[in-house]
Amino acid sequence: MKYLHLIWAALFRRKVRTFLTLASIVAAFLLFGLLDGIRTSFADLGRNADGAQRLQTASKLSFIETLPLSLLPRISAIDNVEAVTHANWFGGAYQDPKNQLFTFAVASNYLELHPEIEVDPAQLEAWKRTRTGMLVGETMMKRFDWEVGQRIPLQSTIYPNSDGSLDWAFDIVGVLKAKDGASAGFTEALILMHYDYFEESTPYVDGDVGWYVSRVSDVRRSDAVAKAIDALSANSPHETKTMSEQAAMASQLKQMADIGLIVGSIMGAVFFTLLLLTGNTMAQAVRERTSELAVLKTIGFSSTSVLAMVLAESMLMVVIGGVLGLGLAAVIGKAATAGSGGLVNLPPVGLESWMLGLGLMLAIGLLVGALPALRAMRLNIVDALAGR
Amino acid sequence: MNTLKSFLRGGALVLLLVAFLAAWIVLPWPALLALALAFALWMLCTRSGRQAASVTAVGVSTLGQRLGSSSVVIIGIAGVVGVLVALLAMAEGYRHTVSSSGDEETAIVLRGGSSAELMSVLGRDAITAIERAPEIARDADGRPLASPELVVAANLPVRGGGADEDGSVQLRGVGDMAWAVRPGVRLVEGRRFEPGKRELVVGKGARRQFVGLDPGAELRLGNQPWTVVGVFESGDAMESEIWADAEVVATTYRRGSSRASVFARLADASAFNAFKATLDADPRLQVDAQTTLAYFRGQSEGVSKVLRIIGIVVGSIMAIGAVFGALNTMFASVASRAREIATLRAIGFRGMPVVVAVMLETMLLAALGGMLGGVLAWLVFNGYTASTLAGGVAQLTFEFKVSPELLWQGLKWALAIGFIGGLFPALRAATMPVTDALRAA
């Protein structure tokens, strides 16, 4: 630690070069922060404590098949199941059929099973009283400039209304907010309406529901519950498949894209390039200082402490750049999310990303410093001072 | 006075840089070619041009001695271009696969307000009315080339996934007109399904994506056993689907006589407006007609736009990193040749040739890097198959497409990075005080 000022001085010996190298490192870690944030937020979907308790039951045949409402009491009767709710995909769109929104027609106890969604109790009561009421996520409210109390025309891209047209109208009675930041991207884009109103109005859904969500009291026995639910409808025309919420999300996302693989390969290319770049800088820096290092050794610094100093210098450089880059990623992510009104949703840089990033910084610092540091350690004082 | 001067110079430099980048992005390649030719003429025909050429030749011939640091520029830029081209190739491949499923001579009719086939429902009456439209082409027997089709989603086990892992596939119920409407679909193995039987013909992409879709195999869809009897290829989005007899699909999925869409081959592309007008004028119909080109282009628009934006954002951030890397290397290179450059200027070479020489050298390295990155991306990713959940509905397999335009775009990026990375070191080289540089190490 007592050599810190020495290392610092060596690092900023050539200011322009150090700043240019730092800028490259900042760019690399900015990219890392943004991409890893996206990766972890995808991996974390449904992994919250509330999600672990929930099981999703959908048709085994495909996501467009529905399930009979008669399963509801039978699922509720299963041991270890605390509560059951259900939802239907409404397929709502606003103004243009291409403008698809996350609209679910749900049972009135849906929010009781989803405590991570926050609604003002008075608004929740109002929703339960209003047949045509809907609860709208905060992001959607901002995106379309809606206000509580407005009546909003929505088109369903699938279900006709009682008059045969695809036009529906709902009253906004409340706003959905996420309790914590992690699930905000999904929760605050959600729109919930009443299943009862939906089911009575459309001729297509004859007492059928899209999927069931059940909460188990003992998470350790949730596998047994999933099996018991699926056994209810085995060999019937409505066979079901029950998964934990997290597993369901993961399988959906995996079909979308292998995010981990894409992020991994981009970052591989980025860090390989970075390694080369900073390695070159460090080699240059040590080559330039050959005689200074020799002087250090002459006045009594041991070979190992010279090695340690060069390594520390390269690690310090990468860590400074990396921390700046990750910090920048946090700021930019927040700004982009706020500035775009929810159209772009960049997750905040989480603890996991910071830890992984710090580990990477130290590793890269060690790697790029290794060769120059070895060179510095093996330096022959006489040759170096003579400039040979 | 001096600070004002340097301030003005800095401002002018930034303006020049911005102008260059704007021109670089906007100009099409013929204009750039003309620019390059003019530059080459300048080098050949004027005195300072010839000076620049000779200084460049010296710089380039000594590149070998600075192999380590020069390769940093090359590989750094190759990394940027490789990632950029790969990401854009993904967007391009997706767009190409989906939009080539349609053309201007085929129309698709959906229920009004439905944005995709899976959400659309057309009754028997509507279908009959659509088929009567006079703009639809007829086959040799005088039957309209119109194919009412039913689309449902089905879950199948994914290849390479866990034991319990299902993916979604589109099952399309078709009649015999489907083959006539889509001349691009070819059977590559086995035979077509027989009407009335639970037989399937699977697309090549679907076969690659899911387990157990080989000819002769039995599988369960919609709780019924089916047999795979053939494989087809079409080179577009249809390849990710499974086809069966429409009647059988309708019975299995309890759809009665309704269908999701009608594909109609028109007499020619100009007949589309008349066809749409005919359908709009019919009071029995509440439908939307689009050319299949417009329909499939609309389906691919969102995803390929997102992919392109991701590619450009990631590429830009990497490019910024690479610019600093190039700056670093070229500053070091100029510093190590300070004496050489100062000597040139002492014996009468002007600043301009020196600037041009350093810039050209950097841009040469950048071009090498751009080509290396482009070639790598092409070798690794051209034809690489990926799949995604198209429109949240069903698995769509597509191939990355590294097109010449993308390679050209990558090269343009590389040269832009080289330009910025070379400009400042070049100016430093040209403005170094000659006496100081000659005295230095």
Q: Which residue of B has its CA nearest to A250?
A: B165
- Same domain? B125 vs B60: no
- Range with top average pLDDT, A29-43, B9-23, B273-287: B273-287
Q: How far is A229 from chain B (nearest CA, A)?
A: 16
Write out residues 275-334 of A within 8 Å (CB-CB) of B: 276-277, 280-281, 283-284
Per-chain mean pLDDT for chain B? 85
Q: What is the pLDDT of residue A264?
A: 82
Mutate one of A22, A29, A61 to test the B interface: name it (highest B CB count within 10 A). Answer: A61
Nearest-CB residue to B75 (from A23, A237, A273): A273
Residue B25 located in a structural domain: no
Q: Does A252 touch chain B (CB under 8 A)?
A: yes
Q: How far is A368 from chain B (nearest CA, A)?
A: 13
Res A20 pLDDT > 80: yes
- Same domain? B369 vs B227: no
Q: Which residues of B touch A24 (CB under 8 A)?
A: 321-322, 324-325, 328
Q: How far is B103 from chain A (nearest CA, A)?
A: 21
Assess contact for A35 and A337: CB atoms under 8 A: no
- Same domain? A204 vs A136: yes
Nearest-CB residue to A20 (from B87, B118, B324): B324
Q: What is the pLDDT of residue A173?
A: 93
Separation of alpha carbons A289 and A306, rounded Å: 12
Q: How far is A261 from chain B (nearest CA, A)?
A: 12
- Same domain? B398 vs B431: yes
- Same domain? A302 vs A330: yes
Q: Which residues of B touch A281 (CB under 8 A)?
A: 328
Tens-digit pLDDT profile for residues A346-380: 677 778 889 999 999 999 999 988 988 888 888 88
Q: What is the pLDDT of residue B22?
A: 79
- Same domain? B153 vs B77: no
- Same domain? A206 vs A163: yes
Tens-digit pLDDT profile for residues A326-337: 999 988 888 877
Residue B22 located in a structural domain: no
Confidence bin at B373 (pLDDT 50/70/90): very high
Residue A53 located in a structural domain: no
Confidence bin at A342 (pLDDT 50/70/90): low
Residue B168 located in a structural domain: yes
Please count the structural domains in chain A. Answer: 2
- Same domain? A33 vs A119: no
Q: How far is B137 from chain A (nearest CA, A)?
A: 30
> The tokens 């609604």 sit on which residue?
A119
State the ipTM, two decimals: 0.79
B438 to B58, B214, B344, B432: CA distances (angstroms):
18, 77, 10, 10
Q: Does A100 touch chain B (CB under 8 A)?
A: yes
Res B137 pLDDT > 70: yes
Residue B9 located in a structural domain: no
Q: What is the pLDDT of residue A50?
A: 65
Residue B6 located in a structural domain: no
Residue closest to B410 by CA, chosen among B359, B361, B376, B384: B376
Q: What is the pLDDT of residue A86?
A: 93
Residue A77 located in a structural domain: yes
Lowest-confidence region among A287-291, A348-352, B267-271, B345-349: A348-352
Give the pLDDT mean for B147-174. 83
- Same domain? A24 vs A104: no
- Same domain? B199 vs B252: yes
Residue A219 located in a structural domain: yes
Separation of alpha carbons B193 and A200, rounded Å: 40
Measured in degrees and rounded to the nearest 5, phi and psi for residue B173 equal: -90, 120
Residue A251 located in a structural domain: no
Give the pLDDT mean for B405-425. 89
Res B251 pLDDT > 70: yes
Do residue A255 and residue B332 have CB atoms under 8 angstroms apart?
no
Mutate one of B66, B318, B428 to test the A interface: name it (highest A CB count within 10 A). Answer: B318
* Pairing mode of beta strands A81-89, A102-106: antiparallel
Res A46 pLDDT > 60: no
Nearest-CB residue to B314 (from A254, A266, A281): A266
Assess contact for A346 and A37: CB atoms under 8 A: yes
Tens-digit pLDDT profile for residues A225-255: 888 998 888 878 788 888 888 777 777 777 7
- Same domain? B252 vs B148: yes
Q: How far is B113 from chain A (nearest CA, A)?
A: 6
Domain hosting A367: range is 4-45+258-385
Q: What value, to the nearest 5°, has the Cα angle with vertex A260 and ends A254 and A265?
A: 130
Q: Which residues of A touch B158 (CB under 8 A)?
A: 255
Locate B183 and state its tokens.
């001349």
- Same domain? B304 vs B158: no
Q: What is the pLDDT of residue B336?
A: 80
- Same domain? A206 vs A110: yes
The SS3 call for residue B429 is helix
Q: Does B168 touch chain A (CB under 8 A)?
A: yes
Confidence bin at B12 (pLDDT 50/70/90): confident
Do residue B152 and residue A64 have CB atoms under 8 angstroms apart?
yes
- Same domain? A213 vs A320: no
- Same domain? A375 vs A278: yes
Res A343 pLDDT > 60: no
Q: Which residue of A has its CA nearest to B79?
A: A269
Separation of alpha carbons A33 and A328, rounded Å: 8
> Which has more pLDDT, B68 or B127?
B127
Q: What is the pLDDT of residue A336?
A: 77
Q: How far is B7 from chain A (nearest CA, A)?
A: 19
Write out residues 261-280 of A within 8 Å (CB-CB) of B: 266, 269-270, 272-274, 276-277, 280
Q: Does A20 touch chain B (CB under 8 A)?
A: yes
Q: How far is B298 from chain A (nearest CA, A)?
A: 9
- Same domain? B364 vs B277: no
Res A385 pLDDT > 90: no
Which domain-ending residue is among B220, B250, B285? B285
Total Cβ atoms within 10 A of residue A352: 14
Tens-digit pLDDT profile for residues A53-112: 888 898 888 777 888 988 899 999 988 888 999 999 888 888 887 778 889 999 989 988
Give the pLDDT mean for B94-103. 85
Do residue A252 and residue B114 have CB atoms under 8 angstroms apart?
no
Write out residues 313-332 of B within 8 Å (CB-CB) of A: 314, 317-318, 320-322, 324-325, 327-329, 331-332
- Same domain? B164 vs B310: no
Element (H, E) at B25: helix B2-26
Which domain-ending residue is among B223, B252, B285? B285
Q: Which residues of A touch B75 (CB under 8 A)?
A: 273, 276
Residue B38 located in a structural domain: yes
Give me Rg for the CA atoms of chain A.
29
Q: What value, to the nearest 5°, has the Cα angle with vertex A190 and ends A189 and A196?
A: 165
Q: Which residues of A touch B320 (CB under 8 A)?
A: 23, 27
Strand partners of residue A177: A118
- Same domain? B83 vs B123: no
Residue B290 located in a structural domain: no
Assess contact for B334 and B431: CB atoms under 8 A: no
Res B1 pLDDT > 70: no
Confidence bin at A189 (pLDDT 50/70/90): confident
Separation of alpha carbons A324 and B127, rounded Å: 63
Assess contact for B299 and B393: CB atoms under 8 A: no
Residue A31 located in a structural domain: yes
- Same domain? B85 vs B210: no
Please count the structural domains in chain B. Answer: 2
Single pTM value for the model:
0.81
Residue A55 located in a structural domain: no
Nearest-CB residue to A158 (from B69, B119, B388): B119
The SS3 call for residue B213 is coil
Res B308 pLDDT > 70: yes
- Same domain? A196 vs A90: yes
Tens-digit pLDDT profile for residues A247-300: 777 777 777 666 677 778 888 888 888 888 888 888 888 888 888 888 888 898
Res A323 pLDDT > 90: yes
Which domain-ending residue is among A210, A238, A266? A238
Domain hosting B355: range is 30-99+300-439
Q: Which residues of B touch A284 (CB under 8 A)?
A: 69, 332
Residue B417 located in a structural domain: yes
- Same domain? B278 vs B311: no
- Same domain? A204 vs A287: no
Confidence bin at A182 (pLDDT 50/70/90): low
- Same domain? A20 vs A78: no
Give the pLDDT mean for B205-227. 87
Total Cβ atoms within 10 A of residue B36: 11
Residue A341 located in a structural domain: yes
- Same domain? A277 vs A200: no
Measured in degrees and rounded to the nearest 5, phi and psi for residue A353 equal: -65, -40
CB under 8 A, 24+ apart: contacts of A262-269: A263/A35, A263/A36, A263/A38, A263/A39, A266/A31, A266/A35, A266/B83, A266/B87, A266/B314, A267/A31, A267/A32, A267/A35, A267/A36, A269/B79, A269/B82, A269/B83
Give the pLDDT mean for B218-237. 88
Nearest-CB residue to A98 (from B79, B115, B314): B115
Q: What is the pLDDT of residue A12?
A: 85
Res A34 pLDDT > 90: no
Give the pLDDT mean for B100-114. 85
Which domain-ending residue is among B234, B256, B285? B285
Confidence bin at A49 (pLDDT 50/70/90): low
User: Within 13 Å of residue B128, how many CA atoms lie on the same side as its CB?
Assistant: 5
Q: Which residue of B has its CA nearest to A160?
A: B113
Q: How many CB pairs under 8 A join A and B?
A: 130
* Pairing mode of beta strands A190-194, A102-106: parallel
Separation of alpha carbons B295 and B100, rounded Å: 11
Res B389 pLDDT > 80: no
Q: What is the pLDDT of residue A181?
A: 62
